[in-house]
Amino acid sequence: MTPSAAPSGATESAPHGHPHPRETLDRCALQAQLRGDPMLGTAFPANRLLLVEQPGPWGHAGLRDSHFDPAPAVALEARAAAAGLRTLAIRRPGRTPRGVARRWAVADCRPGRESLRWGRFDDDAELLDLPLDGSSGTPDDAPAYLVCTHGKHDVCCALRGRPVAAALEATRPGAVWECSHVGGERFAPNVLVLPTGLLYGRVLPFAAPEFVAATERGEVVGALLRGRVGLKPVAQAALAFAYEHLAVRRADALRVVGVRGVREGEAIVRIEHTAGQRGLVDVTVRIERMRGERLTCAQSGVGAFWAFRPVVATAVE
């Protein structure tokens, strides 16, 4: 949609009569694009996830602020957090038929342990007894695509995310879910691929078929990569740089070996090439504190953020 100079929060009437947000010049995602905010190193730190299907609207707090029973929602999120899992609410793009059993999933994105297991539930309280160690549910080897459309958290997520979710669903029916907040709303539309844990930003609807095709070949879409969940930000940035520097496409061909401490605003990340001609490379990542206006649609003033800029890769003898 073409940006307009309408005031912040402007809406237009959707066909069904409800307010529908529209693109404006002061949306955080557009402002970040105009500034050229770097996306590398911005994936969240959890490497295991609990997905809970909850159709209908989500408030700012996601699952805890939805039609899901509030008390089990709070207990479930606390239990998952204690076990090291991040909880995301999910729903199908479009309308969910009534009477359909909802689904849950446990995703493990740790390198070498990637897995995605699905199950079904009828009563919200059932999930309080769900094993969170990956021992329950049916394994699924196919990628799942989670698109952040959490508009109550940030308008850009819904505004830009929903068209991408629809385009991905048209390309790979049944493998796409809308999800609650994954962070980095100014990089919307954001797409998390499971179980690899690769988080992408600024994915556009017209590119959905190519994005899916590359993912299902086991490749990384380097131009859109924000990072891999569970890794330190500098490691995420170095890994993304190494894919490009070494002209490696397969996501499983590189792994992070270790990170040396920050010194004078730089860190050294060692990457191992695990396929073909094996070897090690050290990537230097520069860490900068930056400032910008409207880092979220709700934040009208100037804020600060960290930028992670890989600058050089050196082969280790």
- In sequence order, the β-bridge partners of residue 106 are 50, 117
- Digit-by-digit pLDDT tens for the chain (317 residues) are 333 333 334 444 343 344 466 778 789 999 999 999 999 999 999 999 999 999 999 999 999 999 999 999 999 999 999 999 999 999 999 877 777 889 999 999 999 999 999 999 999 999 999 999 999 999 999 999 999 999 999 999 999 999 999 999 999 999 999 999 999 999 999 999 999 999 999 999 999 999 999 999 999 999 999 999 999 999 999 999 999 999 999 999 999 999 988 777 999 999 999 876 679 999 999 999 999 988 999 888 899 999 999 999 999 97
Closest CA to 52 of 95, 80, 87, 85: 87
Tell me the two tokens of residue 18. 């409800």
Burial class (CB in 10 A: 0-12, 13-18, 19+), 208: buried
Say if residues 91 and 56 touch (Cβ distance below 8 Å): yes
- The confidence score (pLDDT) of residue 1 equals 34
Domain boundaries, the chain: 1-231
pLDDT of residue 6: 38
For residue 44, the model assigns a pLDDT of 97
CATH superfamily assigned to domain 1-231: Glutaredoxin (3.40.30.10)
* C-alpha distance from residue 270 to each of 53, 71, 234, 273, 281 (Å): 38, 45, 11, 10, 6
Two tokens, residue 37: 């905010």
Output DSSP code: residue 59.
B
CA distance 10 to 20: 9
* Residues found in the chain: 317
DSSP code for 64: G
Write down the pLDDT at residue 277.
66
What sections of 187-280 are H helices per DSSP?
208-216, 233-245
Rounded alpha-carbon distances, angstroms, from residue 216 to 249, 272, 301: 12, 23, 41
